[in-house]
């Protein structure tokens, strides 16, 4: 969306990047490239973060839950998307009702209805660009979300259905299997997080370690 807005000269005062602190390196690499483009064009760039460190909230924040007090909300995702809530709070506080472009694609029907509010503009919908069109558009311009993994470069959109936080427990088993096989450094980071919480990442019997053993078994 941003690339086409710039190419077509749409009015744009500022670009805001929200950093959860848990993004893939490829996201930060693209952010750095985009920052240079914006600098050349004199467009303001702003980086926002959650009020609290992601891992502190995941493991250390004192919480009064239905089963008594405990520390941390554990994995983020599913019905417990505390990271998304933080993101929306910070972004809304910053935007203060200003007109915003949001990159919802023309084939994301339920999101389009949810986000249809006075101050939101959806250029991808106006252009009729579906998610696959957007990816092709970015690839044509050399934006490929590539991770430098052990066995060679991996394009994130080749192995993940959606590129979100690397630790998002919304990832499906196909995506997690791909991470174990093709992005082993991130898999190790998932194991480190799992070591710090009793809640299995994908539900009972599906901790990161359970899934790792399952995926390894599939190889033989
Ligand atoms: S992408 Fe997943 S882990 Fe990250 S904030 Fe959203 S729901 Fe939470």
pLDDT digits (tens, 9 = 90+) for 103-119: 999 999 998 988 887 78
Cα 18 to middle of ligand 1, angstroms: 12
Q: What is the pTM of this model?
A: 0.93
pLDDT mean across residues, the chain: 94
- So what's the pLDDT on residue 136? 98
Close Cβ partners of 178 (under 8 Å, ≥ 6 residues apart): 159, 160
Averaged pLDDT, 38-59: 97
HSE, side-chain direction, 13 A CA sphere, residue 33: 14
Instruction: State the first-to-last Cα distance of the chain, in angstroms, to the nearest integer.
Output: 43
Residue 28: CB atoms within 10 A of its CB come to 11
Distance 40 CA to ligand 1 centre (A): 32
Q: What percent of the chain has pLDDT over 90?
A: 88
Contact between 39 and 67 (Cβ < 8 Å): no
Mutate to test the pocket of ligand 1, among 21, 51, 57, 84 (most ligand atoms within 8 A of CB): 84
> 130-166 pLDDT, tens per residue?
999 999 999 999 999 999 877 789 999 999 999 999 9
The protein residue whose alpha carbon is closest to atom 5 in ligand 1 is 83
Q: Which residue in the block uniquely carries the two structure tokens 């009702």?
A: 97
Angstrom distance (rounded) from CA 36 to CA 15: 12
Q: Where are the domains of the chain?
A: 2-155
114 CA distance to ligand 1 middle (Å)? 18
Environment class of 38 (CB within 10 Å of its CB; exposed 0-12, middle 13-18, buried 19+): middle
DSSP 199: S
| Cβ of residue 165 lying under 6 Å from some atom of ligand 1 | yes
- The closest alpha carbon to 34, from 158, 143, 139, belongs to 143
Q: Determine the pLDDT at residue 152.
A: 83
Return d(Cα 16, Cα 215) in angstroms, integer. Answer: 38
Residue 11 CA to ligand 1 centre (angstroms): 30
Q: Which residues contact 118 (CB under 8 A, 6 or more apart)?
A: none
Q: Among the atoms of ligand 1, which is closest to the Cα of residue 167?
A: 3
CA distance 3 to 137: 9
Query: Distance, CA 111 to ligand 1 centroid (Å)?
Result: 16
Is the CB of 170 within 6 Å of ligand 1? yes
Ligand 1 pocket test, pick from 22, 24, 51, 76 with the greatest ligand atom count within 8 Å of Cβ, gives: 76
Of 161, 163, 165, which is best to mutate to test ligand 1, by the most ligand atoms within 8 angstroms of its C-beta? 165
């Amino acid at each position: 969306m941003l690339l086409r807005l710039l190419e077509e000269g749409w009015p744009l005062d500022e670009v805001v990047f929200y950093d959860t602190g848990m993004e893939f390196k490829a996201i930060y690499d693209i952010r750095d490239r985009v920052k240079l483009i914006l600098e050349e064009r004199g467009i303001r760039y702003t980086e926002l973060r959650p009020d609290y460190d992601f891992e502190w909230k995941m493991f250390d924040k004192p919480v009064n839950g239905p089963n008594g007090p405990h520390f941390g909300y554990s994995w983020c995702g599913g019905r417990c998307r505390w990271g998304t809530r933080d993101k929306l709070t910070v972004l809304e506080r910053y935007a203060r009702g200003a007109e915003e472009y949001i990159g919802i694609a023309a084939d994301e029907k339920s999101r389009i209805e949810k986000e249809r509010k006075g101050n939101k503009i959806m250029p991808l919908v106006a252009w009729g660009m579906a998610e696959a069109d957007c990816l092709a558009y970015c690839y044509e311009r050399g934006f490929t979300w590539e991770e430098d993994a052990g066995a060679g470069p991996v394009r994130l959109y080749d192995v993940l259905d959606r590129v979100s936080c690397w630790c998002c427990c919304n990832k499906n088993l196909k995506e997690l299997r791909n991470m174990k096989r093709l992005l082993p450094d991130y898999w190790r980071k998932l194991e480190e997080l799992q070591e710090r919480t009793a809640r299995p990442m994908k539900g009972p019997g599906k901790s990161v370690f359970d899934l790792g053993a399952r995926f390894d078994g599939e190889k033989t």
